[in-house]
Amino acid sequence: MSESTSILPSLIGTFTGAGLAFLSNWWFQHKTQTRDELCAGRLALFTIRSQMDDFLNYRYAIRHSINQIHQALGDSPEWALARPMGFSITESNTFDFKSLAFLLSTETGREAFVHLQFAEQTYLDFIGRLTDFNQSAQEIQRTLAPFHQTHGNATLGVMEVHLGPELCVRMRDHQRAIVLRLDRDENRYRKTFQLLRDEMTKRFDSKAAVLNLDVLERLTPEKLPPLPIALTEYLKTVPNADL
């Protein structure tokens, strides 16, 4: 047997072993990457769900609060309809966009990625406007508390003079900003959720999207109490863009 013939089996064994090691390493890395992408996508779905839960609960509380005050006071200025709303910010209700970079490899994935950015901006904007609303409502209560001690029978008109035009208009505008978002933002979360859910199903399988956006009946728009005419008329003046 020649020297070259005796070396050949060793070379074949070496290349075969290297090839198998390469394939094994590739398969392990691919499996790990798939697992990480699946986890990141599912976490994003749960984040949208959590953002929307906050939105729905605040909408329910604010709409009922406005309605109760309106029923008690009747025809009244908009600033008088506002009451401070206790709320807490969920720090984890934002997306880890770095872990979601795999979405950028397809056109539909990029569309989902853009809407995830928009949903996060929508959520943070809503929390910001809720903070403005709360601060103005608290300022009105602080200003009126000592006034009521000496003017217990004061009318809303007298209270408005005491509060001053700046605070009353600021409260009105902050309340309008909240009511506008309560009227328009739900579909933004729904669209983002559906785009990501569809993309997850297409990339992985039908079991990849483990969550739905089911809503309790009492939280649906149809079950909420009506807004006062002043606020419904304001909403009519703002174009409703389909985003």
**Per-residue pLDDT at 126 exceeds 90:** yes
Do 170 and 77 contact (CB within 8 A), yes or no? Answer: no
Confidence label for 180 from pLDDT (cuts 50, 70 and 90): very high
Backbone conformation region of residue 96, classed left if phi is above 0, alpha if psi is from -120 to 50, else beta: beta
SS3 of residue 95 by DSSP: coil
Higher pLDDT pick, 211 / 98: 98
The range of the structural domain enclosing residue 166 comes to 3-236
Taking residues 81-102, report their average pLDDT.
88
Q: What is the mean pLDDT of the chain?
A: 88
| C-alpha distances in Å from residue 28, one per residue of 32, 98, 138, 184, 195 | 6, 21, 57, 45, 29
Report the percent of the chain where pLDDT is more than 90.
71
- Whether 86 is covered by a domain: the verdict is yes
State the burial class of residue 242 (Cβ atoms within 10 Å of its Cβ: 0-12, 13-18, 19+): exposed
- Whether 89 is covered by a domain: the verdict is yes
Q: Which of 48-57, 149-158, 210-219 has the lowest mean pLDDT?
A: 210-219
- Whether 243 is covered by a domain: the verdict is no
- Whether 183 is covered by a domain: the verdict is yes
Nearest-angstrom CA–CA distance, 170 and 174: 6
In three-state form (DSSP H/G/I as H, E/B as E, the rest C), the secondary structure along 168-216 is HHHHHHHHHHHHHHHHHCHHHHHHHHHHHHHHHHHHCCCCCCCCCCCCC
Nearest-angstrom CA–CA distance, 26 and 20: 10
- Whether 170 is covered by a domain: the verdict is yes
- Whether 242 is covered by a domain: the verdict is no
SS3 of residue 5 by DSSP: helix
State the burial class of residue 67 (Cβ atoms within 10 Å of its Cβ: 0-12, 13-18, 19+): middle
Nearest-angstrom CA–CA distance, 53 and 82: 22
**Per-residue pLDDT at 30 exceeds 60:** no
Do 137 and 82 contact (CB within 8 A), yes or no? Answer: yes
**Per-residue pLDDT at 34 exceeds 90:** no
Q: Which of 20-29, 68-77, 158-167 has the lowest mean pLDDT?
A: 20-29
- Whether 182 is covered by a domain: the verdict is yes
Q: Which of 25-29, 129-133, 168-172 has the lowest mean pLDDT?
A: 25-29
CA nearest neighbour of 178 among 76, 93, 71, 55: 55
**Per-residue pLDDT at 206 exceeds 90:** no
Domain total for the chain?
Answer: 1
Torsion sign (Cα): 129, 133, 136, 142: negative
Would you state the pLDDT for residue 2?
Answer: 53
- Whether 241 is covered by a domain: the verdict is no
Return the DSSP state at 237: T
Q: Which of 45-59, 67-81, 196-210 has the lowest mean pLDDT?
A: 196-210
